[in-house]
Amino acid sequence: MVSAEASPFASTGGLGDVLQGLPKALAKQGHAVGVALPLYPRVRQFNPQVVQHEMRFASANRLFRADVAHIERHGVQYFFLDVPALFDRPGIYGEGDADYGDNTLRYAAFCRGALGIAHSLFNPDVVHCHDWPTGILPVILNEHFRRQPALMGLKTVFTIHNLAYQGPVSQANAAALGVNGTFRQAHASMMRGALDTADRLTTVSPAYAREICKPGHGCGLDALLARRRGDLTGILNGIDTELWDPQKDPHLPGHFSVANLRGKQECKAALLKEFGLRPERMTRPLIGVVARLAAQKGLDLLSQNPRQFLDLDASLVLMGDGNPHEEDFFRWLAAAHPDRVGVKIGFNAGVSHRVLAGADVFLMPSRYEPCGLTQLYAMRYGTLPLVHSTGGLKDTVNGANGFSFEVHSWRSLHQCLREMTGAWGTDLWETKQQNAMTADYSWDAAAKAYSKLYDQALQVRI
């Protein structure tokens, strides 16, 4: 696998989580799995050992000499490409709100290096690339390396985790990278390169696979995806049930299971306190949010009618950052109603576990959601998801285990929130909670589906 992120080494969200769970599950099923990642400064704390000095490769008319460092973890071989000029920076994709201006060149060089690793250190049958930073790999492979015996039969699988981030490639960069064969069209991007050239395409839920073939969620690539529909599979992500275990999670003040939920009440009481809300709020439903404050997540709906929201007499704890306007709105809401709204701007793993465990309801009004993992974490912790029915949310949340609404508007969300407050304290709530907690979202099923897909890819004729 080739990716810009993998937890615990470097991650900004769901992609990193997937690159932690999936390789491990595949290794458990008997595959030899390697993961190539850039060596970001934060990786050094894991103490990777150099296994190859000065691997040479060229990209965009520059010659690189990169050390390759290695760690084995849970039966997975992680290889880190050390190119200080490109990756020795504080951020992954950028700093603050600003992306690094040379991201195309950074990740194109990384993909070259990853092919070098495949060639000299790992020799895979299939290269599985994830999201736009690695979209150019199948293009480079096709245009430059198909005649090398070691790479000739190599098959490529590309997974779309989020179609909205495409990694645009300018004509000048395409020429410098020597990939202008594929990138002749206007609106060229790393993502498009992979959609054109990878042997097999996947995305992270069946519903999102259908949605992106249509204009609404296709981000300009729907026609291309519709053409490749036969090669595109939606495979629902799993979750790491060891890291997200309500009986053992070290971040939690109390532990619980479906058979004994008392610890969940302890978690709720501690969470109210952590966010500065009064203990009396124990008797009202507590809504939790952990999300990037980006348009995708749809939390701006709450700012359309804060009065009506507060009239529901639910409490809200939110952790997230991103869009400065949304940050300001939630800061304001918490300052104006400190008795029932608590907000933390930023991200902290411990807090995220405590919100997911201590809340009664987990709110995810996403405009679109390729899979979504937090609703799955919430369910495992007996926290009922309340979601906009789209993409992976549609595939995982229903009336039996949570609440959902169809139209992305404050009106529909408000109606759904009322349905939720109406169900609060009833038997129906308990039934939903039991269904949510006993559903199986472990990685095993997904790993089997990917395994089958790799077999199919290997049968593609060269």
Token couple for 382: 């007996």
Give min distance, CB of 130 to ligand GLC, in A: 8
Q: Is 59:101 a contact under the CB 8 Å cutoff?
A: no
For residue 216, the minimal CB distance to ligand GLC (Å) is: 16
| Of residues 342 and 392, the one with the C-beta less far from ligand GLC | 392
Q: Is the dihedral of CA 193, 196, 200, 201 positive or negative?
A: positive
User: What is the smallest separation between the CB atom of 210 and ligand GLC, expressed in angstroms?
Assistant: 15
Question: Which residue, judged by CB position, is nearest to ligand GLC in the bound state?
Answer: 14
Nearer to ligand GLC, 372 or 385 (CB): 372
- 63 phi and psi, to 5 degrees? -100, 130
User: In the bound complex, what is the minimum distance in angstroms from residue 76's beta carbon to ligand GLC?
Assistant: 18
The amino acid that residue 366 corresponds to is S
Q: How far is the CB of 74 from ligand GLC (least distance, A)?
A: 19
C-beta pairs of 260-264 under 8 Å, 24+ apart in sequence: 261/382, 261/433, 264/357, 264/358, 264/381, 264/382
Interface residues toward ligand GLC, by CB under 6 A:
13-15, 18, 161-162, 204, 237, 369-373, 392
14 or 116: whose CB is closer to ligand GLC?
14
Secondary structure in 3-state letters for the chain? CECCCECCCECCCHHHHHHHHHHHHHHHCCCCEEEEEECCHHHHHHCCEEEEEEEEEEECCEEEEEEEEEEEECCEEEEEEECHHHHCCCCCCEECCEECCCHHHHHHHHHHHHHHHHHHHHCCCEEEEECHHHCCHHHHHHHHHCCCHHHHCCEEEEEECCCCCCCECCHHHHHHHCCCCCCCCCCCEHHHHHHHHCCEEEECCHHHHHHCCCHHHHCCCHHHHHHCHHHEEECCCCECCCCCCCCCCCCCCCCCECCECHHHHHHHHHHHHHCCCCHHHHHCCEEEEEEEECHHHCHHHHHHCHHHHHHCCCEEEEEEEECHHHHHHHHHHHHHCCCCEEEEECCCHHHHHHHHHHCCEEEECCCCCCCCCHHHHHHHCCCEEEEECCHHHHHHCCCCCCEEECCCCHHHHHHHHHHHHHHCCCHHHHHHHHHHHHCCCECHHHHHHHHHHHHHHHCCCC
For ligand GLC, the closer CB: 26 or 83 = 26
CB of residue 428 to ligand GLC, shortest distance in Å: 28
Q: Whole-number minimum distance, CB 290 to ligand GLC, in Å? A: 13
Q: Give the separation between CA 24 and CA 7, rounded to whole angstroms.
A: 12
Least CB distance to ligand GLC at residue 101 (A): 23
Shortest Å distance, C-beta 300 to ligand GLC: 17
At closest approach, how far in Å is the CB of 345 from ligand GLC?
20
Shortest Cβ 386–ligand GLC spacing (Å): 17
Question: Which residue number, 113 or 392, has a Cβ lying nearer to ligand GLC?
Answer: 392
Rounded distance between C-alpha atoms, residue 44 and residue 55, angstroms: 19
